[in-house]
Structure 1
Amino acid sequence: MDLFLISGLILFLELACIRWFPAHVLFLTFFTNTVLLACFVGMSVGCLTARSDRRHLQQMPVWLFVALAAGILLNLYRSRLEHIVDVASQSQPDVVFFGAEANVQQAPEFVVPVELVAGLMFVLIAAVMVGPGQEMGRAFNRVPGRIAAYAYNIAGSLVGIVLFAACSWYHVPPVAWFTLVALGVLYFLLRPTVDATGPRPVKLITVMLLLAGVLLTVRTSGVLPIFGDQVETTWSPYYRVDYQPKDGVIVTNLIGHQVIRSREKPGEVAYHLPYLFNQAVARPPYRRILVIGAGSGNDVSRALLWAAPDARIDAVDIEPVIQQIGRDHHPDRPYDDPRVTTHLDDGRNFLRRAPAEEYDLVVYALVDSLVLHSGYGSIRLESYLFTREAFADVRRVLKPTGAFALYNYFRQGWLVARLRESLRHTFGADPVALTDPPNTELSLNQFVDAHTFFLAGREDVVGPVRQAFVDNGNLFWVPTVRPVTPDNRGGFSKDKPTGAGEKWSALRMAQIEDSGGSLPPATDEWPFLYTHQPSIPEYILRGIGLMIVLSGVVWFAFRPRTGGSAITTGTVSLPENGSTQTGAEALPAVVGAPSPATAGDQAAARSETGLLVRMFFLGAGFMLVETKAVVHMALLFGGTWVVNTVVFFAILMTALLGNLFVAWVRPERLWWAYIGLIAALAANLLVPLDAFLGLDRTVQVIAACSLVFAPVVFAGVIFPVSFKRAAAPDRAFGTNAAGALLGGIAENASMLVGFQYLLVVAVAFYLASSVRTKK
């Protein structure tokens, strides 16, 4: 029972850390893999110290309090930090991070690399996980039989992920998450434990620090209006969402995301441009409109203003909380209009299911998620919206006379050029491109501090718009203060008009430098729109090096100081013969009390070392298989958190079924499982990611799941058979978790070779694990 509970607690705490820390530590939202790997390092070190006479769970409340306090302090001083924290050199970046360019614009005297901030949190989060990891290692040692122990571990993990999924579904705030964590920790601390020195009471300070840690999370949980804050905080499945009713600002994970603006007040010109261009070439108003990234409703409000009276508008957004804020607070009430149908869905998934030639206009409405898709991969939530295949989906759903509007603050000239080239490739015509404020020439290496707008379509759609600019001297003026409406026709003007109380914005077509083929397009295989070139960026390489060093630091800090006894309770089993011992008699056999070394002992140690090497590489390979599964399912079924949860649940269930198969059949030879595993990985490597797009839904689900989860089936047999042979399950499981760190680091290779060929690395890891297989 202890193993079941501690496994559930660890997974729940891991997910809580992945959600909470990026929402408080500046720009860590782009590096959630750091939080995930810190959890694996801490869990691994904890399992490997299960034999230590120090009980690290006693210090876990201290580390939790310090980590949460560090997050709170970094949150409070974020306005100062954002000007000195350097995120991947945003003046000339390898990877663009929206909202991370403050120090580029102000040029501070010194900057702090974001890797140092991430490194600090890496150490603290890893330290938090050591205590629970040690409890899990000891619980493994107490369960009779390795197969049963692994089954309890998986079952507890399943409960942990389901419990956290329920918290996400009901927007439960962090104070509740960490209250559950505190109760779980107290349960284990208050249980009687016996070691060589006798019972160890729980100190009052430990309980107080747990309570203090929980209280630290109250302020940003949105449950109490503290210190007169004029901010409403809600925890969606993706973000911490802060809404400021006074000015309509929506902030997600510390970065400004949207501003609710009525169409009756000054606002972004881009909201109106698709309709003004349509009007300029004397086309009828749009009747079928699709807005992807509808958010709080600004784009939908303008669509209602300009669309035909009988128009139908589909508003798609993946974020439920922001959509609800727009429904409740937008002054134009766009979501109350009967012409609007809202869809809480992944944009690419919606495009894929939409009928062909359905829409007159498709709008990408400032689509940028500011967050990674999951802690397992380097893609962002919107990555699959900007691939060439996604643009082909847009073209498919557009009518022959339809237009595609795309706009955002893209920051870098090479990013603007990549989008222009992908749109040109998809539609067979150069899109109309302009910036606000106007910038007539954009070079590839230029920092673009402007709003860039694209209007794409076939040549007979965009050609007249382009010609309208030429006929008007390549310049238009558009009012930004006076409401732009179909009634006053306050649209384009060749000369700057004059009028009381009016302000005007100048629009010019931008001439974008051609890359000459040097910019690879974002594709479903390589969906890294914001990465300059296929490579592992320098900041990631520096972060990997720092992560490896800090992992060693964590191990050195928590390593066993003696080879003595460990806290234990219950029954302990030995491998192979299944014999058991209880109480103090079990300690020398399992904990590893010193004894004279014999030749047999040395041979056993060498055999155990070989097994630990195998467990290490099994962990590395499995991490990459999980990553591939998450990314592949995001492409096929959408990048929603529900899809992610189902994928993780399915992986754990598949592993559990494999474990039950091993318990029933009791296989001893693994060659057949390795052959099946390599064959399954080869099939995943050879079948393109998008092979199942467009199939019947039932066929798509069956075929995709059969392909993606096939490697998990065989890995789910290899692991428990190997784990069953371990003389020390705590060390075996800890080494397997350490291997996951290697797999997580290797995942960055996807930025170089794409996700499909990432499986080659997984094959290498599994082959390395098979070398030690004797049977």
Structure 2
Amino acid sequence: MPRPPLFALALLSAAALGYEILLMRLLSIIQWHHFAYMMISVALLGYGAAGALVALAQRTLVRHFVPVFAGGALLFGVSAMGCFALAQHVAFNPLEILWEPSQPLRLLLIYLLLFVPFFCAATSICLSFSRFTGQVPRIYSFDILGAGLGCLGIIVALFALHPVDALRLVGMAGMAAAALACVECRWHRPWLPALLLLAAIVPAGVPGDWIALRPSEYKELSQALRIGNARVVAQRSSPLGLVTVVESPSIPLRHAPGLSLNASQEPPAQLAVFTDGDGLSALNRHDGRREPLAYLGDLTSALPYHLLRNPKVLVLGSGAGADVLQAVYHQASAVDAVELNPQVIDLVQGRFAAFSGKPYSAAGVRVFAGEARGFLAASTARYDLIQVALLDSFSTSSAGLYALSESYLYTVEAFQGYLRHLRPGGLLAITRWVTLPPRDIPKLLATAVAAMEGAGVPDPSRRLALIRGWKTATLVVKNGEFSAADLAALADFCRARSFDVEYYPGIQPGQANRYNVLDQPYFFDAAQALLGPEHDRFLSRYKFDVRPATDDRPYFFHFFKWRTLPELLSLKAQGGLPLLEWGYPVLVATLLQATALAWLLIVVPLWILRRRPRPQPAAGPGGNGAAVRRLPEWRAGFYFLAVGLGFMFVEIAFIQKFILFLSHPLYAVAVVLCAFLCFAGLGSRYAQRMPARAGDDRGRRQAALAVNGICVAALVYLAALPTVFRLLIGLPDPARIGVSVLLIAPLAFLMGMPFPLGLARIAARDETLVPWAWGINACASVVAAVLATLVAIHVGFTAVVLLALLLYAAAALACP
């Protein structure tokens, strides 16, 4: 048999996975992250559709293997760019999807467009397994190794390239894979590889206007650019986000969230800083004088500075530097600032140094580029004030590469870590937007109470204070009880600025809701319920989910409850839909769509294949083909379904668990995903050499051995990783990356074995089912990516791993 195009296969797999990650970046910029995830999840069913196509047309496609493989790779390269460009021109507005009948049809059109590139790449990959059934483990190893290197490669490329240029690179890789396949297979048309390599250069010459990013007109950046004379003055791109700086000379920006209505000083000149077109923060003009910064003393976030004198401050999520300037204005003795995205720091300190006055270089100020929790875990410093800036989750603790909004800033364990780094009498201050009905603030209160109770604090109610302005609210947690002097200073601060005191120890009902009057004292009532005997009843009966988030369930921004949905929908004519957190309903809709389509892609090809004449197996050395039993399809289907679900469950859960150890969400994605795929590829190569007794059930024994190893390793990891992480968190970044790779390697190596072992077993019994089984595994992977997040929201990532182990055990029992 001719050799399979292994290196072309690896390059195509790398391009396909790179395209998946890149699409998440691109669609997060032009839409919103949860809708981006929805679109990509459904589009990835192109892999399942490719398995169905190859299963139904296997003989014809295998007979023309080289042109079909090269054609699929070439079409992937072309459609990766072309279909994304067309998808951008579909006038889809997710905000209208519940009442505008044409919006679901437009979403379907986007699905179909993004489906095409994955379908083309997957057809070539799946056909390789069908053509070279005797080399399944070897082919799978190159497939998954290529995917791992593609994951790492696209993340590295996004540091150097704008996302649009990275899209060109993906297109070129697909076309280059087509040329490489012709060379490896020694096709008889020697001029074709040269022609295909020439075609691979074409994406570099595609006009920028054809594939330029067109963000939704409803994103904050689009709205800002509609202001007269507003223009983009700087832009920086990385896997952490597209940072855009906007200047508006004719209508100056005045961004002061929660500024007191009594304030007499307006903010200085400002530039608007956006991340992925949202998350507005202000870059202030600063010439070194304190007077222009006086407005920073009239924000709710200024409260801690009126309770402390010359504090040592830690600012988490410092962004463009407004919170650092607030500390400088209040004469903090020292300021440590932590910001996830180094490009934001570079813009503030470099490109706009003359405008900003370089706040991170002010006396007593130090800046650290990193993730907030990781910085604290590796630090032994203690502070008088730890301030969590008014930023959404993507700006500080998430890279925007995941579904929904995982945030490790607002978990019970995070609060306990903050409190451990406070000096006696120190304050933790967290400012959030005021939402009505209240959601963020009750959840913060519940989290603070749970954190203190877990740390053994006898009466958390003596250590909490909450104030509210017209737009923001600030929660203060003290490492100790509030004194009478503290409460007097708090009352004076709020009275002078007309801020409402919603809770402090000993507050009376008439003292709340006095200035920014609501029809009911929602925040006061929530605080009383959470700090009293009605705590559990309040959490269960409240219309939104305000249970504390944990590191195992880091979904602070998940407030959705199904029983509230009918009421919200009934209020849509009155503007009630903004109360609907889109992430969770979109996730459920994605799961339903992906599951329904996956079921069709599994059942329909099997129904057709069953009605075709079955080929007789080839005679083996020990007898004739008729002696080989017919393979039970249901058993094979369940095996590959369980293995696909289990692999993705474990992979996703461990990415989350390594985020805090690696102290960076980007490192977790790059290191964990790449290591999982690469070592799984090595495990696949070893699978065919695994020792097992000879006989008809040899493959089943090998699969059972691998599954036993997976279960033991995963359970050991669940028990030991927290201790290992705690002991080694202080190591430098390169050392922690190396430790992570060493920890992942054994588990990933074992996880690479069940799929090729099962597929090789299928190939030995019935070659016509190879693409069908491959398609089942692909469909399961797509469904698992959505289902894992849904399970984690409700019961945590540890439960996701345990469910994966049950699936692996079931797969071992069902191994064909």
TM above 0.5:
yes
Q: 1:233 to 1:660 in 2, by over 3 A?
A: same
Deviation at 1:611, TM superposition (A): 3.3
Q: TM-score, structure 1 length as denominator?
A: 0.74
Aligned counterpart for 2:415 among listed residues 378, 383, 391? 391
| Amino acid in structure 2 at the alignment position of 1:511 | F
Q: Report the Cα distance in structure 2 between the residues aligned to 1:641 and 1:738, rounded to whole angstroms.
A: 26
Q: Is the 8 A contact 1:63 1:127 kept in 2?
A: yes
Q: Is the 8 A contact 1:637 1:643 kept in 2?
A: yes
How is 1:9-158 mapped onto 2 (pairs within 5 angstroms)? 9-25=15-31, 27=32, 29-38=33-42, 40-50=44-54, 52=57, 57=72, 60=76, 63-64=79-80, 67-73=83-89, 81=93, 84=96, 110=99, 120-143=109-132, 145-158=135-148
Q: Is the 8 A contact 1:404 1:457 kept in 2?
A: yes
Task: Identify the residue that residue 557 of structure 2 maps to in structure 1.
Answer: 530
Task: Identify the residue that residue 276 of structure 2 maps to in structure 1.
Answer: 253
Deviation at 1:336, TM superposition (A): 2.6
Aligned counterpart for 1:166 among listed residues 133, 156, 174? 156
Q: Is the 8 A contact 2:52 2:601 kept in 1?
A: no
Aligned counterpart for 1:289 among listed residues 290, 293, 313? 313
1:240 to 2:242 alignment: yes
Aligned counterpart for 1:675 among listed residues 700, 708, 714? 708
Q: 1:298 to 1:505 in 2, by over 3 A?
A: farther
Say how many residue pairs are matched: 663
| Amino acid in structure 2 at the alignment position of 1:23 | I
Q: Report the Cα distance in structure 2 between the residues aligned to 1:711 and 1:301, rounded to whole angstroms.
A: 47
Deviation at 1:298, TM superposition (A): 1.0
Task: Identify the residue that residue 184 of structure 1 maps to in structure 2.
Answer: 173
| Amino acid in structure 1 at the alignment position of 2:412 | R
Task: Identify the residue that residue 457 of structure 1 maps to in structure 2.
Answer: 478
Task: Identify the residue that residue 337 of structure 1 maps to in structure 2.
Answer: 362
Q: Is the 8 A contact 2:300 2:473 kept in 1?
A: no
1:301 to 2:325 alignment: yes
Structure 1 residue matching 2:393: 3-state secondary structure: coil
Task: Identify the residue that residue 388 of structure 2 maps to in structure 1.
Answer: 364
| Amino acid in structure 2 at the alignment position of 1:313 | V
Q: Report the Cα distance in structure 1 between the residues aligned to 2:409 and 2:235, rounded to whole angstroms.
A: 28
Structure 1 residue matching 2:475: 3-state secondary structure: strand
Task: Identify the residue that residue 216 of structure 1 maps to in structure 2.
Answer: 210
Deviation at 1:509, TM superposition (A): 12
Deviations 1:171-199 (A, max 9, x none): x112322222222333355676999xxx9
Q: Report the Cα distance in structure 1 between the residues aligned to 2:137 and 2:327, rounded to whole angstroms.
A: 59
Q: Report the Cα distance in structure 2 between the residues aligned to 1:526 and 1:113, rounded to whole angstroms.
A: 36
Q: Report the Cα distance in structure 2 between the residues aligned to 1:523 and 1:214, rounded to whole angstroms.
A: 44
Q: 1:256 to 1:537 in 2, by over 3 A?
A: closer
Deviation at 1:420, TM superposition (A): 1.6
| Amino acid in structure 1 at the alignment position of 2:327 | A
Q: Report the Cα distance in structure 2 between the residues aligned to 1:124 and 1:551, rounded to whole angstroms.
A: 18
Task: Identify the residue that residue 647 of structure 1 maps to in structure 2.
Answer: 672
Q: Is the 8 A contact 1:278 1:284 kept in 2?
A: yes
Q: Report the Cα distance in structure 2 between the residues aligned to 1:696 and 1:464, rounded to whole angstroms.
A: 42
Q: TM-score, structure 2 length as denominator?
A: 0.70
Task: Identify the residue that residue 4 of structure 1 maps to in structure 2.
Answer: 10
Task: Identify the residue that residue 652 of structure 2 maps to in structure 1.
Answer: 627
How is 1:574-613 mapped onto 2 (pairs within 5 angstroms)? 600=626, 603-604=629-630, 606-607=631-632, 610-613=635-638
Task: Identify the residue that residue 759 of structure 2 maps to in structure 1.
Answer: 723
Deviation at 1:398, TM superposition (A): 0.9
Structure 1 residue matching 2:553: 3-state secondary structure: coil
Structure 2 residue matching 1:284: 3-state secondary structure: coil
| Amino acid in structure 2 at the alignment position of 1:312 | A
Q: Report the Cα distance in structure 2 between the residues aligned to 1:315 and 1:560, rounded to whole angstroms.
A: 61
| Amino acid in structure 2 at the alignment position of 1:540 | L
Structure 1 residue matching 2:467: 3-state secondary structure: strand
Structure 2 residue matching 1:50: 3-state secondary structure: helix
Q: Report the Cα distance in structure 1 between the residues aligned to 2:400 and 2:107, rounded to whole angstroms.
A: 14
Q: Is the 8 A contact 2:591 2:783 kept in 1?
A: no
Task: Identify the residue that residue 748 of structure 2 maps to in structure 1.
Answer: 712
1:695 to 2:731 alignment: no
Deviations 1:219-250 (A, max 9, x none): 5799xx9x995353332212222221345112
Q: 1:179 to 1:277 in 2, by over 3 A?
A: closer
Deviation at 1:367, TM superposition (A): 3.1
Q: Report the Cα distance in structure 2 between the residues aligned to 1:711 and 1:534, rounded to whole angstroms.
A: 36
Deviation at 1:771, TM superposition (A): 2.6
| Amino acid in structure 1 at the alignment position of 2:335 | I
Structure 2 residue matching 1:523: 3-state secondary structure: coil
Between 1:708-717 and 1:755-764, the stretch displaced more is 708-717
Task: Identify the residue that residue 548 of structure 2 maps to in structure 1.
Answer: 521
Deviation at 1:160, TM superposition (A): 1.3
Deviation at 1:295, TM superposition (A): 0.8
Between 1:389-398 and 1:267-276, the stretch displaced more is 267-276
Structure 2 residue matching 1:250: 3-state secondary structure: strand
Q: Report the Cα distance in structure 2 between the residues aligned to 1:722 and 1:575, rounded to whole angstroms.
A: 19
Q: 1:630 to 1:376 in 2, by over 3 A?
A: farther
How is 1:469-484 mapped onto 2 (pairs within 5 angstroms)? 469-470=490-491, 475-477=495-497
Structure 2 residue matching 1:285: 3-state secondary structure: coil
Q: 1:557 to 1:189 in 2, by over 3 A?
A: farther
Deviation at 1:476, TM superposition (A): 2.5
Aligned counterpart for 1:511 among listed residues 518, 521, 524? 524
| Amino acid in structure 1 at the alignment position of 2:595 | I
Structure 1 residue matching 2:335: 3-state secondary structure: strand
Deviation at 1:135, TM superposition (A): 1.3
| Amino acid in structure 1 at the alignment position of 2:370 | D
Deviation at 1:554, TM superposition (A): 8.3
Task: Identify the residue that residue 431 of structure 1 maps to in structure 2.
Answer: 464
Q: 1:526 to 1:304 in 2, by over 3 A?
A: same
Deviation at 1:749, TM superposition (A): 1.4
Task: Identify the residue that residue 793 of structure 2 maps to in structure 1.
Answer: 751
Between 1:659-668 and 1:554-563, the stretch displaced more is 554-563
Deviations 1:71-117 (A, max 9, x none): 4336xx78xx476356xxxxxxxxxxxxxxxxxxxxxxx46799877
Q: Report the Cα distance in structure 1 between the residues aligned to 2:52 and 2:318, rounded to whole angstroms.
A: 49
Deviations 1:720-769 (A, max 9, x none): 32233232454443322111123123211111111111223212322332
Deviation at 1:258, TM superposition (A): 1.4
Structure 1 residue matching 2:550: 3-state secondary structure: coil
Deviation at 1:316, TM superposition (A): 0.7
Q: Is the 8 A contact 1:292 1:316 kept in 2?
A: yes
Q: Report the Cα distance in structure 1 between the residues aligned to 2:292 and 2:741, rounded to whole angstroms.
A: 50
Q: Report the Cα distance in structure 1 between the residues aligned to 2:279 and 2:555, rounded to whole angstroms.
A: 22
Q: Is the 8 A contact 1:359 1:398 kept in 2?
A: yes
Unaligned runs of 5+ in 2: 1-6, 62-67, 216-220, 254-270, 453-459, 500-510, 540-545, 563-582, 611-616, 693-697
Q: Give the root-mean-square deviation of aligned CA atoms.
A: 4.6
Structure 2 residue matching 1:240: 3-state secondary structure: strand
Q: Is the 8 A contact 1:469 1:476 kept in 2?
A: no
Task: Identify the residue that residue 773 of structure 1 maps to in structure 2.
Answer: 815
Deviations 1:96-149 (A, max 9, x none): xxxxxxxxxxxxxx4679987765544432222100111112233455622221
Task: Identify the residue that residue 581 of structure 1 maps to in structure 2.
Answer: none
| Amino acid in structure 1 at the alignment position of 2:641 | F
Structure 1 residue matching 2:120: 3-state secondary structure: helix
Q: Report the Cα distance in structure 1 between the residues aligned to 2:443 and 2:297, rounded to whole angstroms.
A: 20
Q: Is the 8 A contact 2:443 2:548 kept in 1?
A: yes
Q: Report the Cα distance in structure 1 between the residues aligned to 2:712 and 2:20, rounded to whole angstroms.
A: 32
